[in-house]
Structure 1
């Protein structure tokens, strides 16, 4: 099957149309002219005063701030995208006296080496710089993998690469997508893309993968959600809503939502996911309703609610999003929480119950509970179930987050010391171990058996976590204020403390 490609005229001529799909690659700067400012005022939980009350001493911030609207004012960078580019984090010591950890400069240098260019414009970062083995698809720009890289660049005052990526991914979404003879939904975002160089014609072409090259030939469920979340992060960071307000971006958001909000056979507000369609590229037995996708779905819906314009079709989608958010919040809080009391109820479940009076609503088989769960479950507190599907509960999720997400959660919950310890542990291992993709073992003592080294999202994730801890206001890019309307009025176990 031939790959889906996108080609643009090499001379980069600009059409008279306002469509971003007809703007030449060397004319991206036009999009940033006269940006429309948005309200970037932070609420109490994200202002400088509230973070100063945390029980950890934060280092001075490496950025300056505008006293009027708290928008970030960045210092100019001579060569912002060259591998030798300098920033407040890749210099031995920044002007305000902040002394970074020695591996920070190494991380920034590695991240810059991973940048991918298309027509001399930076459009993303490759998944890994591991030259020890066959590259496979690690030389591509993955939508999900680029998110921590994008956040690192945004926090460091380099938004152009993020804007270029968002536009390129949106352009790829607009192309027809087929796997064999079957056409995919119009709103599907690519899992990844790469730049194909033709030395004979001296041209560059983007080649996208929508699942036709993936293990199991599974289309990505999460790419569209990450794109929406990153678009909101870009808008929040730069204060420029002109990109998100463009008709093409508004249409892209609606197309993604139209797929996941469509009414069909499913009786749950959660998303049914095929095995291998999210976060991982190996088939790992997650078929069902994995919590990571439901959480991503929830976050994308909340971000879309902030980005969608209420005019025209946007109004209808806003109403659908609000309705789904209420149902999804209720469902997750009720059916994904597992503590000792609920575990004992499941242990005594009867199966094949019928009617609205059924206690075992999802026909979970008690025998599907592994023996270790009973000893593992604490007497106080509990866990969210990692995946829920009819007949069985697959696994628990004690701590399934990446370093930068863990840091954001710790800061938002007022427990930054946990993140600080995690970052210190990462600093003692990551560079020495070659920035591996993951670790094996219960305590993470071993480098993953199939883990690629020099993994870009490991590098970027560390940098983002580090910058969040030093300037907690960055958390606002990936965190939303609590929506009291999303909290359903239901009775919970005494162990629920969220």
Structure 2
């Protein structure tokens, strides 16, 4: 089932995350792959070089993601006050982000408590959207620090209607519309607003949310989402995805009796009944990983 996720991730990224590289989903999956590889390599002469290179990459990747992709209320306020056209190593606005490029919805969406890894960061361009898969994988792989993991859970609780709604779980929030939709998706008719990869709700994501909830000690969030799913999935014929801001409608091109919709629900239930199953898909924090370097209050994403 996890390999199926990789496939849908690539498809999703192609349609709805643009062409600028480094999206949160790919970075989180890459981090997880590196950590898994590290645990499988032999500590012998042949594996030593690979291990050293992986450890170096993990340190750099974790620092980059935790520093530049992370957004919370304080970080958002800092970006809002950014100066632009800064140069040299003393620059605070490392990516020359123009504060006026912050979309209006972010200010209302960001709760006082909570945070998340944004969709993408590149020079003069930030994708502030929430992507469920990347944030859940960040928790399960321990790319997110314990504090960041708890903040992601706080965000989900605070913005339940937007991220969960009536059918778990929004793959991305918010949907892209009008001219931006035409550019990013190539006018793909499947990816109209609040549908399919463009803000649609995917029941398969239920097991990832459940795993993240168990790891962070917040099983009540997963239980609430599972209860919601149980009211409709069987009745609706286990569709692939749902449409609408709240996920009220079976997707316009959703196939019924999808294996991963059924499997996602079953895995979520099994993990709730026996949380020890979490060990098969979750990695604990690496105590040797360099801690997040503290920044000044003005240095942010």
Could you state the TM-score of these two structures normalised by the residue count of structure 2? 0.68
Structure 1 residues 339 and 457, CA, compared in 2 at 3 Å: closer, same or farther? same
Deviations 1:198-232, CA, capped at 9 Å, x for gaps:
xxxxxxxxxxxxxxxxxxxxxxxx56xxxxxxxxx
CA offset at residue 492 of structure 1? 6.2
Distance change in 2, residues 1:277/1:420 (3 Å): closer
Aligned twin of 2:17: 285
Q: How does 1:212-251 map to 2 (within 5 A)?
A: 222=6
Taking a change above 3 Å as real, the CA distance of residues 493 and 325 of structure 1, as seen in their structure-2 partners, is same
Matches within 5 A, 1:167-178: none
The corresponding residue for 2:105 is 372
Q: 1:396 to 1:350 in 2, by over 3 A?
A: same
Change (3 A) 1:347 1:385: same
- Summarize deviations over 1:82-105 as a string: whole Å, max 9, x none: xxxxxxxxxxxxxxxxxxxxxxxx
- Do 1:383 and 1:396's aligned partners in 2 also have CA atoms closer than 8 Å? no
Specify which of 62, 75, 78 is matched with residue 329 of structure 1: 62
Q: TM-score, normalization: structure 1?
A: 0.42
Runs (4 or more) in structure 1 with deviation over 3 Å come to: 398-401
CA distance in 2, matches of 1:473, 1:328: 29
Residue 123 of structure 2 is matched in structure 1 by 390
After superposition, the Cα gap between the structure-2 partners of 1:487 and 1:311, relative to the gap in structure 1 and judged at 3 Å, is closer
Say whether the 8 Å CA contact 2:106–2:128 is kept in structure 1.
Answer: no
Structure with more relative contact order (C-alpha pairs < 8 Å, separation 6 or more): 2
The verdict on how the C-alpha distance between 1:281 and 1:482 changes in structure 2, with shifts beyond 3 A counting, is closer
SS at match of 1:395: strand
1:434/1:448 CA distance change after superposition, 3 Å: same
The verdict on how the C-alpha distance between 1:409 and 1:277 changes in structure 2, with shifts beyond 3 A counting, is: closer
Distance 1:305 1:282, change over 3 A: closer
The answer for the alignment partner of 1:435 in structure 2 is 238
Q: Cα distance, 1:306 vs. partner?
A: 0.8
Alpha-carbon distance in 2 for matches of 1:377, 1:298? 26
Contact 2:66 2:292 in 1 (8 A): no
SS at 2:10's partner residue? coil
Q: How many residues align?
A: 226
* Cross-structure match for 1:340: 73
Cα deviation for residue 487 of structure 1 reads 4.8
Who is 1:478 aligned against? 281
Secondary structure at the aligned position of 1:450 is classed as coil
Larger Cα Rg: Structure 1 or Structure 2? 1
Is the Cα–Cα contact under 8 Å of residues 369 and 392 in structure 1 kept in the other structure?
Answer: no
> CA separation in 2, counterparts of 1:350 and 1:458?
46
Q: Which runs of 5+ in 2 are unaligned?
A: 137-204
Q: How does 1:272-311 map to 2 (within 5 A)?
A: 278=10, 280=12, 283-287=15-19, 288-311=21-44
More helix by share: 2
**Equivalent-residue separation in structure 2 for 1:433 and 1:379 (angstroms):** 37
1:434 Cα deviation after fit:
1.9
Give the 3 Å change call, closer, same or farther, for CA 486–440 of structure 1 in structure 2: farther
- Equivalent positions of 1:256-275 (< 5 A) are none
Residue 414 in structure 1 maps to residue 146 in structure 2:
no
Say which SS state the counterpart of residue 338 (structure 1) adopts.
strand
| 1:144 has 2:3 as partner | yes
Please give the residue correspondences for 1:37-116 in structure 2 after superposition, counting only pairs within 5 Å. Answer: none
Distance of aligned partners of 1:362 and 1:282 in 2 relative to their CA distance in 1, 3 Å threshold = closer
CA contact (8 A) 1:407 1:416 kept: yes
Deviations 1:104-155 (A, max 9, x none): xxxxxxxxxxxxxxxxxxxxx8xxxxxxxxxxxxxxxxx731x6xxxxxxxx
* 2:229 aligned residue (403, 421, 426): 426
Partner of 2:208: 405
Unaligned runs of 5+ in 1: 1-124, 126-142, 148-221, 224-275
SS in 1 for 2:117: strand
Q: Residue in 1 aligned with 2:255?
A: 452
Shift of 1:440: 2.2
| Residue 465 (structure 1) aligned to one of 268, 272, 279 | 268
1:385–1:472 distance in 2 versus 1, CA, 3 Å? same
Q: Conserved in 2, the CA contact under 8 Å of 1:308 and 1:318?
A: yes
CA shift in 2, pair 1:484/1:396, >3 Å: farther
CA offsets 1:363-401 (integer angstroms, 9 cap, x no match): 222232111111222223322212222222113327455
The structure-2 alpha-carbon separation of the partners of 1:388 and 1:450, relative to structure 1 and needing over 3 Å to count, comes to farther
